[in-house]
Structure 1
Amino acid sequence: MPQLRLCHVEELPEGSARGFGIVSPGRDRMFLVKHQGVLHGYLNDCPHWPGSPMAWRRDAYLNPDATRIVCSGHGAEFDITSGRCTLGPCLDQFLAPVDLEIDHEGIVHAYLPDTQVGPHARG
């Protein structure tokens, strides 16, 4: 499973999200969310409509109060910690999680399936 270098853990503020692994302009392979001091990684792919990106604009993965991940396509809401859909057409389905590792220098790395690795991370 290829490893993708993302960013330093301190570069992602609490209550924010950021996309990585550029597929095409405006579309990232995956995204990170920092919630209650913990990083969560998911593929940028809504389970309701596979292949459809989650964000309506760069890094816009969260609702206004940063308590849920929101799909821009149809407004589905997902629990940040589990990726479970709590509202919308994909109720009780899950976002695909991404395995993360933080090295001794604080650099966050993601492990993506071979088909999900973009040409580079956006850091």
Structure 2
Amino acid sequence: MFLCRLDELPDGDSRGFDPARTGQDTVLVVRQDERVFGWRDACPHHGGTPMAWRKDEYLNAARDRIVCAAHGAQFDVATGICTLGPCLGQRLHSVGLVVDDNEIHIRET
């Protein structure tokens, strides 16, 4: 499933997507250099609460951690492991992505 073009997601940025068209972002994507990481937009500690504090705003000021707006937990961008906060050691659920011909797609399973 097509999400966006790679050049529409600047390096060090994040973006939410609603691939199921539910009216709420359920997938978040972070770009670091030429790598992209996909995660379910649901905090593992806070009952699956969406994590953005504002549309497409998932990262801390340093742009190196995903942050849950509900309680401030921080997650490693590459592994999804919580590195700070009440869910320490828990992880985000990965969403498989494929970058092909400058397009980001959810990997079909």
Q: Do Structure 1 and Structure 2 share a fold, with TM-score over 0.5?
A: yes
Under a length normalisation based on structure 1, what TM-score does the superposition of the two structures give? 0.81
Q: Relative CO higher for 1 or 2, CA cutoff 8 Å, sep ≥ 6? A: 1
User: Matched residues in 1 for 2:69 and 2:50: separation?
Assistant: 8
Match of 1:108 in 2: 104
Match of 1:75 in 2: 72
Match of 1:59 among 56, 60, 69: 56
Under a length normalisation based on structure 2, what TM-score does the superposition of the two structures give? 0.91
CA RMSD of aligned residues (A): 1.5
Match of 1:11 in 2: 8
Q: Is 1:43 paired with 2:40?
A: yes
What letter is aligned with 1:107?
E
Structure richer in strand, relative to its length: 1
Runs of 4+ in 1 over 2 A off after TM superposition: none
Render the CA deviation track for 1:36-81: whole Å, top value 9, x for unaligned: 3210000000000232000011001000110100000000000001
User: Matched residues in 1 for 2:108 and 2:82: separation?
Assistant: 21
Contact 1:98 1:112 in 2 (8 A): no
User: Matched residues in 2 for 1:71 and 1:112: separation?
Assistant: 27
Match of 1:32 in 2: 29
User: Matched residues in 1 for 2:95 and 2:105: separation?
Assistant: 10
Structure 2, gaps ≥5 residues long? none
Match of 2:90 in 1: 93
The aligned length equals 107
Q: Tell me by how many angstroms 1:23 deviates.
A: 2.9
User: Matched residues in 1 for 2:68 and 2:107: separation?
Assistant: 23
